[in-house]
Amino acid sequence: MVVGNQGSIARSTDNGSSFNNATSPITNILYGVTHGNNTFVAVGNNGNIVRSTDNGSTFNTVTSPIANTLEDVGFGNNTFVAVGNNGNIVRSTDNGSTFNTVTSPTSAYRGVTFGNNTFVAVTYYGKIVRSTGNGTTWDNATSPTANTLEDVGFGNNTFVAVGNDGNILRSTDDGITWDNATSRTANTLKGVGFGNNTFVAVGSSGNIVKSTDNGITWDNATTPNTKDYRGIAFGNNTFVAVGSGKTIIISTDNGSSFNTVTNPTTKNLWAVGF
């Protein structure tokens, strides 16, 4: 499932080889999408939240408790957690039917993910927060950078966060402490995903980097263009990344190389979920 400008939504049932438009109930930008308990949830401008319980064929709006932009959404322990501007955090324990606000320890968020019974969110100035209470309460974690962090992913008991100036951070203690990893790029990395024992991060100017040792070392991957990539996800042995210029690219070799796929929405895309 990919989402983007003007509420655009497209879905693929052939591992990303082709996509078809899905009917969207909104016209605002959707910035984040995730899946859990047979439900897709997407979030975006003006606090908009939409959900689908039929594998993305149709979406319905959900009443949002906020009017500020939501940048990303994650799922774990039967809980959806969305984060965004003005420090907003909202959560749902009924498969995205209703959301409630949560007290936040910082002023804004860019990305969120779940692993090992822990939600981790990242944002401006290198700030990192974590929740071990299914998103009900949050604590600050110590960060080794002051650069903006755009996204965070989880795999093999490791959290990996990426951001401005090619920054890559990793944590092996459920997000309590973080270390810098050596990056292959100085360009902003905007999305990170995990699958088949491989982390893949994507960013501006077509940059794609991958790690097969839990984020310790990274290598450049072959990129088909110089578009700005904003999101990446993994499913069925396939990485799918999306970005500006209506771009969708896929990799079936664990992120070593990517090929372009036709985008039927004709809109710029911000996120992808599986």
**In order along the chain (274 residues), what is the average pLDDT of each group of 10 residues?**
97 96 96 98 98 97 98 98 97 98 96 98 98 98 97 98 98 98 96 98 97 98 95 98 96 97 92 98
- Residue-level pLDDT at 253: 97
Domain containing residue 179: 2-272
What CATH number is associated with residue 65?
Answer: 2.120.10.80
- Residue-level pLDDT at 177: 98
Q: Does pTM top 0.95 for this prediction?
A: yes
- Token couple for 95: 């498969």
- Residue-level pLDDT at 186: 96
**Tokens 């007290």 belong to which residue?**
103
- State whether residue 223 is helix, strand or coil: coil
Residue 190 pairs in a beta bridge with none
> How many Å apart are CA 19 and CA 249, to the nearest integer?
11
Task: From residue 208, give the alpha-carbon distance in Å to each of 48, 123, 162, 223.
Answer: 30, 21, 12, 7
- Residue-level pLDDT at 135: 98
User: Cα 159–73–161 angle (5° rounding)?
Assistant: 25
Task: From residue 141, give the alpha-carbon distance in Å to each of 7, 11, 84, 144, 171.
Answer: 33, 36, 18, 10, 11
Per residue in 249-273, pLDDT (tens digit) is 999 999 999 999 998 988 999 999 9
> How many Å apart are CA 268 and CA 205, to the nearest integer?
15
Q: What is the dihedral of CA 211, 214, 217, 222, to 10 degrees?
A: 0
- Residue-level pLDDT at 218: 98
Q: Count how many domains the chain has.
A: 1
- Residue-level pLDDT at 273: 98
